[in-house]
Chains A and B, each alone.
Chain A
């Protein structure tokens, strides 16, 4: 059964949404479709953006038109390509290796940990135990270069975004709703910051495989401040 909707994101981008919520099956589907487009390239395709439950194609309408001369709009042609990918892309079970990421949850690195603990009526250690206790799936990379959107944290520590953005240091680990993420670069941000990793997530060199990609699995583990500092050195 087809379970998707298609919509335009302006005249140079089409999105196919394959489900209504955050779930592994939809994520696997859009990753499979992304792979399908790698083996079935479209002339004029500029970028493929995968998100929790959607895949978007950004294209140069002029190049698509010059190459394929579709009878209708270019937009309709790209939609057909997405439908084809949806029908033909099959989910390949990948290896389920878990990438372990060290985090220092000290107050100086996790200024909002106390707020979460207080509003959830947990002690600090319990918040850390819950955050390190689950394996998270990386659903998408977005917002900043290398920023992984991961889910789902236990409801007991799910926390709303801040009212407005505040300065966030590189390596900071945040929570927003049931999502958890890592700021690869210093940036203003609205997630509740509970700790910091000494690992470098953003690798500017093109040949470096980014530490995390959509479809990866992650588990955090706690380190103390001394370890954090020696890691940095």
Chain B
């Protein structure tokens, strides 16, 4: 085997970019919460963007490496250490076998991603390695990782000693993508009006755009329940269920909002008052209970323009990561 979970974290699951094409069976796409961090984790470790990664919440797991590996840790900063020595995030990292990776403190963000060069050996379910907790399928045995779980690497590395100082346990390679732009103003989240936006009275519309909404402890991979100004729907008429998506802001009967996240259902019947723009999903994914969200309105044209400019930046970063890493492979 290649890694063993010595001690499980709060919620560690295998995820990739999701399971598309099965909504007609009621199967939602799932996948990583922060697609940017996961794609960059893969680029830094020399993998294609869609390779399965380990999504880690805090407290994180203790992981024993039983084989030499090239890895990267992106997303949230949980101050990772290798045999108690701090190592950098968002950089490629050679790790010697018989060392222990752990996460010591949460300093930024909510979800970290571990990618290993060549990827983990995972049996895909319906074309994806993502863990579907409700169905108990996909990922590692359809569940979060537990003590003693072992994951094999698809492509074990032959010889990393040539890159390492003698007797050292790891080596951090000296490049890092510029991620500041992606996460700047972390709590400022843009949204587009939803089909039921006009059910809100004008005072409630103003409240959405001028008051903070706080993530409650009822915030997980399925959705974030927010606490803020109570919003008043003018119309109470029941809706016929229809499609919802990652980022959909639903108005609950009590006047509070829930923002749907990666493990959302395929359909829902609560009023859709808005939708977070997809360019801000990485920021949204890095928020934790207690964090505020300040909502700002955006148009579809603005949302698309921002997304495309972001994708351009990501493509450049991915290319640069691969070019830098090639001499080491």
Contact = CB atoms under 8 A, between A and B. Distances in A.
Interface string B25-66: 111010000000000000000000000000000000000000
B241 A9 contact: no
Interface stretch (B87-95, B105-113, B265-273, B320-328): B265-273
Contacts of B272: 9
Given A11-B304, A13-B245, A149-B241, A202 B135 contact: yes
Given A142-B265, A204-B125, A48 B23 contact: yes
Nearest to B127: A206
A144 interface: yes
A9 B248 contact: yes
Interface stretch (B144-152, B206-214, B275-283): B275-283
Contacts of A22: 240
Interface string A51-94: 11110101001100100000001110000000000000000000
Interface string A21-45: 1100000000000100000000000
30 contacts: A7-B195, A8-B192, A9-B243, A10-B245, A10-B246, A10-B278, A47-B22, A48-B23, A48-B24, A49-B242, A50-B24, A52-B242, A56-B243, A58-B245, A61-B278, A61-B307, A62-B311, A141-B24, A142-B26, A142-B265, A143-B266, A143-B267, A144-B265, A145-B132, A145-B135, A177-B238, A185-B134, A204-B135, A204-B137, A206-B127
B292 interface: no
> Can you list the 3 inter-chain pairs with the closest CB atoms, starting with the nearest?
A10-B275, A56-B243, A142-B267
Contact of B304 (A58, A73, A144): A73
Contacts of A172: none
B304 A61 contact: yes
Contact of A185 (B21, B135, B240): B135
A10 B277 contact: yes
B27 A145 contact: yes
Contacts of B246: 10, 12
A141 B242 contact: no
